Structure 1
Amino acid sequence: MLHTLREWLWWERLWLPGNVSWSDVEHNGAKASQLYAALPCALCLLLVRYLFERYLASPLAKVWGIRDRVRLTAEPNHILENYFCHHGRLLSQADVSSLCKKTSWSERRVHVWFRRRRNQERPGLRKRFCEASWRCVFYFFAFAYGVLALYDKPWLYNLKEVWAGFPKQPMLQSQYWYYLLEMGFYLSLLLSLTIDVKRKDFKEQVVHHIATLTLLSFSWISNYIRIGTLVMACHDSADILLEGAKVFNYGKWKETANFTFVVFTILFTLTRLVIFPFWLIHCTWVHPMEQFAPFFGYYFFNVMLLILQILHFYWAALISRMLYKLIFSKLEGDDRSDEEEDEGDSPLEKKHKLGQRNGSGARGRANGH
Structure 2
Amino acid sequence: MTSSSTNLPIPQKSIRHRSSSVGRIDVGDTSSPSLSTMPTTKSSRRRSIARLAELQDKSSTDSAIVHKLYVGFTELTYRHTWIWPLIVLLIAFATFFLSAPDGQIHQFLEDMIVPSYHIPGTDQYAKGVNDFKFVGFYAIFFTFLREFMMCCVLRPISCWFGITKEAKQKRFLEQTYAMFYYGMTGPFGLWIMSRLPLWYFETTPFYEQYPHKTHDVFFKIYYLGQAAFWVQQSVVLILQLEKPRKDFKELVLHHIITIALIWCSYRFHFTWMGLAVYITMDVSDFFLAFSKTLNYLDSPITAPFFVIFIGVWVYLRHYINLKILWSVLTEFRSVGDFELNWDTQQYKCWISQPITFFLIFALQLVNFYWLVLIFRILYRYIFTGVGKDERSDDEDEDSTDDSTDESKKSQ
Aligned to 2:392: 338
Amino acid at match of 2:187: A
**Residue pair 1:35, 1:217 contacting (<8 A) in 2 also:** no
**Which of these residues, 141, 161, 165, is aligned with residue 209 of structure 2?**
165
Matching residue within 163, 174, 185 for 1:142? 185
| Residue 264 in structure 1 maps to residue 319 in structure 2 | no
Report how many residues are paired: 259
- TM-superposition CA deviations, 1:282-335 (whole Å, max 9, x none): 2233212013153322221221111101001100011111212332313233x7
Contact 2:167 2:396 in 1 (8 A): no
C-alpha distance in structure 1 between counterparts of 2:228 and 2:139, whole Å:
4
**1:145-185 C-alpha deviation (Å, 9 max, x unpaired):** 10111112111244211222311543222221111221111
Higher mean alpha-carbon deviation, 134-143 vs 149-158, is at 149-158
Amino acid in the other structure paired with 1:211: I
Q: Quick one: which amino acid aligns to residue 171 of structure 1?
A: H
Task: Verify: 1:151 aligned to 2:220, yes or no.
Answer: no
Which residue, 328, 333, 346 being the options, matches 1:284? 328
Matched residues in 2 for 1:34 and 1:232: separation? 19
For residues 206-245 of structure 1, the C-alpha deviation after alignment (integer angstroms, 9 at most, x for no partner) is 1101110110111001111111101100111111111111
Pairing partner for 1:66 from 145, 151, 163? 163
Task: Report the CA distance between 1:198 and its aligned residue.
Answer: 3.3
Structure 2 stretches lacking a partner, 5+ long: 1-123, 340-348, 398-411
Q: Distance in 1 between matches of 2:318 and 2:203?
A: 18
The structure with the largest helix share of the pair is 1
Q: Is the alpha carbon distance of 1:62 and 1:250 closer, same or farther for their aligned partners in structure 2, counting shifts above 3 Å?
A: same
Once residues 212 and 155 of structure 2 are traced to their aligned partners in structure 1, the CA distance between those partners, rounded to angstroms, is 47
Compared CA separation, residues 37 and 284, structure 1 to 2 (3 A): farther
Identity of aligned residues (%): 24
Unmatched runs of 5 consecutive residues or more in structure 1:
1-26, 69-122, 344-369
Q: CA deviation at 1:31?
A: 2.5
Alpha-carbon shift at residue 28 of structure 1 (Å): 7.9
Give how far 1:33 is off: 4.1
Are the equivalent residues in 2 in contact too, given 1:198–1:338 (CA < 8 A)? yes
What secondary structure does 2:198 align onto? helix
TM-score, normalized by length of structure 1?
A: 0.65
TM-score of the pair, normalised by structure 2: 0.59
Determine whether 1:31 maps to 2:117. Answer: no
Give the match's secondary structure for 2:333. Answer: helix
3-state SS of paired residue (1:252): coil
- Bigger RCO (CA 8 Å, 6+ sep): 2
1:191 Cα shift? 1.9
